[in-house]
C-alpha cells in the first residue's frame, strides 16, 4: 500500500506535466493579432512535435511493449503496424463523419466561414488526440512516481517540455477561428488535464487490467492518430496561410525541440 505522501507526489508530478499545455496556450494567445507567418510557424511547429514524438518516442515504446507481450519482435512489429494504421483509420472515419454545419447568421464570407470551421475542427481534433495521448502518458508518469521519484521527475519534466508546443497546437487554430483567447486557452488546458485524469483512472480502475499488450496497442494507435492530424489538418492549415517557408521552419523547429527534450533525459 502506498503512503498518502507518495500518492500526492506522484499525482503532483503528473499534474505539473499536464498543465504545461497551459504555458503553450498562454504563448499562443498572448499575441494580439497573430499574422499569417506566426500562424504558419506555430502550426508547423506543432506538426513537427507530433510527427517526431510519434515516430521517435511513441512507436518505439509501443514496439517494446508488444515485443514483451508476444515474446517476438516480429510479432510485436506486425501488431504495432496494425494498431498504427487502425489509429489512422479511426481518426479518418471520425473526420469524415464530422458534420459540415454552416451558420446562416455568420457574417463572414463563405470562404472565411469554411476557413474558420476548418480551424475549429483542427483545434478540437488536436485537443482530443492529445487528450488520448496524454491519458496513458499521465498513467505512466504516475506509476513512475509511485515506484521511483528519481525516474519520475525527469520523465515529468520531459513530458512537460513537449506539452508546451502541444498547447500551442490546440490554442492557435481555436484562437484564430473563434477570436476568443479564453476559449483557446481553456481547450488547451483541458487537453493537458487528461494526464492527471489518466493517472487517477488508471490507478483506480485500469491498473489490474493494464499489461504490455494493451499499452503497446494504445501507443501505436495514438501515434497513428497524431500522424494523421499532422498531415491532414495542421500542415494543410499552415500552408493555407500562404507562408510556406515559415510552416517548414516551424516544422523543423518542432522536431528539434522535441529531439532536444528527449536527449536531455537519455
Top pLDDT among 243 and 97 is at 243
73 is in an annotated binding site: no
Q: Which of 82, 127, 125 is nearest to 221 (CA)?
A: 82
Given a contact cutoff of 8 angstroms between Cβ atoms, the answer to whether 174 and 266 are in contact is no
Closest CA to 9 of 189, 153, 203: 153
pLDDT at 28 over 70: yes
Question: Mean of the pLDDT values across residues 109-116?
Answer: 62
Q: What is the average pLDDT score of the chain?
A: 79
State the number of CA atoms in the 13 A half-sphere of 10 facing the CB: 25
- d(CA 118, CA 185) in angstroms, rounded, equals 18
Give me the torsion for CA of 151, 153, 157, 163, rounded to 10°.
80
Q: H helices within the chain, ranges in order? A: 4-19, 21-30, 36-53, 59-70, 73-97, 110-147, 149-178, 181-192, 194-201, 212-229, 235-240, 244-263
Cβ neighbours of residue 199 under 8 Å, at least 6 residues apart?
10, 11, 14, 138, 139, 141, 142
Most confident of 60-74, 106-120, 161-175: 60-74
Q: Over 50: is that where the pLDDT of 107 sits? A: no
Most confident stretch, 22-26, 100-104, 198-202: 22-26
**Does residue 211 sit in helix, strand or coil?**
coil
Pair 262, 56: CB distance under 8 Å: yes
Closest CA to 98 of 125, 134, 116, 66: 125
163 labelled ligand-binding: yes
C-alpha grid cell, residue 11 = 499525482
Mean pLDDT of 86-101: 74
Asked if 79 and 217 count as a contact pair (C-beta separation under 8 A), the reply is yes
Residue 180 φ/ψ, nearest 5 degrees: -120, 115
As a whole number of angstroms, the distance between CA 110 and CA 115 comes to 9
Is 166 a known ligand-binding residue? yes
30 vs 207, residue with greater confidence: 30
How much is the pLDDT for 162? 61
pLDDT in tens, 148-201: 676 677 667 767 766 777 787 778 777 777 777 888 888 888 888 888 888 888
Under 8 Å between Cβ of 251 and 235: yes
Q: Taking every pair of C-alpha atoms in the chain, what is the biggest distance, in angstroms?
A: 61
Question: Does residue 105 surpass a pLDDT of 60?
Answer: no
| Cα 243 from chain centre | 24
**Can you give the pLDDT at residue 257?**
84
Q: For the chain, how many residues are written?
A: 266
Q: Tell whether 137 is in a known binding site.
A: yes
Contacts of 93 (CB under 8 A, 6+ apart): none
Please tell me the predicted confidence (pLDDT) of residue 119: 72
Average pLDDT of the residues in 95-103: 53
Percent of the chain scored above 70 by pLDDT? 79
pLDDT value of residue 154: 66
* Angstrom distance (rounded) from CA 87 to CA 120: 21
* Contacts of 201 by beta carbon, 8 Å cutoff, 6+ apart: 135, 139
pLDDT at 79: 96
pLDDT tier at 108, thresholds 50, 70, 90: very low
Amino acid at each position: 500500500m502506498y503512503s498518502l505522501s507518495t500518492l500526492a507526489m506522484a499525482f503532483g508530478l503528473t499534474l505539473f506535466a499536464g498543465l504545461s499545455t497551459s504555458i503553450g496556450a498562454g504563448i499562443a494567445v498572448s499575441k494580439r493579432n497573430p499574422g499569417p507567418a506566426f500562424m504558419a510557424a506555430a502550426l508547423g511547429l506543432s506538426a513537427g512535435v507530433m510527427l517526431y514524438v510519434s515516430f521517435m518516442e511513441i512507436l518505439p515504446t509501443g514496439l517494446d511493449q508488444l515485443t514483451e507481450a508476444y515474446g517476438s519482435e516480429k510479432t510485436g512489429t506486425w501488431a504495432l503496424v496494425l494498431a498504427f494504421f487502425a489509429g489512422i483509420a479511426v481518426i479518418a472515419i471520425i473526420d469524415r463523419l464530422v458534420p459540415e454545419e454552416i451558420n446562416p447568421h455568420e457574417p463572414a464570407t463563405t470562404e472565411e466561414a469554411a476557413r474558420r470551421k476548418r480551424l475549429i475542427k483542427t483545434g478540437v481534433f488536436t485537443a482530443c488526440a492529445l487528450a488520448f495521448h496524454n491519458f496513458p502518458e499521465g498513467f505512466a508518469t504516475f506509476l513512475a512516481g509511485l515506484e521511483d521519484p528519481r525516474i519520475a521527475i525527469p520523465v515529468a519534466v520531459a513530458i512537460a517540455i513537449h506539452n508546451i508546443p502541444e498547447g500551442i497546437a490546440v490554442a492557435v487554430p481555436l484562437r484564430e477561428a473563434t477570436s476568443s483567447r479564453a476559449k483557446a486557452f481553456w481547450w488547451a488546458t483541458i487537453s493537458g488535464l487528461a494526464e492527471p485524469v489518466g493517472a487517477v483512472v488508471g490507478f483506480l480502475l485500469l491498473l489490474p487490467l493494464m499489461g504490455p499488450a494493451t499499452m503497446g496497442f494504445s501507443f501505436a494507435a495514438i501515434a497513428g492518430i497524431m500522424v494523421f492530424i499532422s498531415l491532414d489538418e495542421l500542415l494543410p492549415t499552415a500552408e493555407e496561410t500562404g507562408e510556406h517557408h515559415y510552416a517548414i521552419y516551424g516544422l523543423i523547429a518542432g522536431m528539434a525541440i522535441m529531439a532536444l527534450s528527449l536527449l536531455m533525459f537519455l
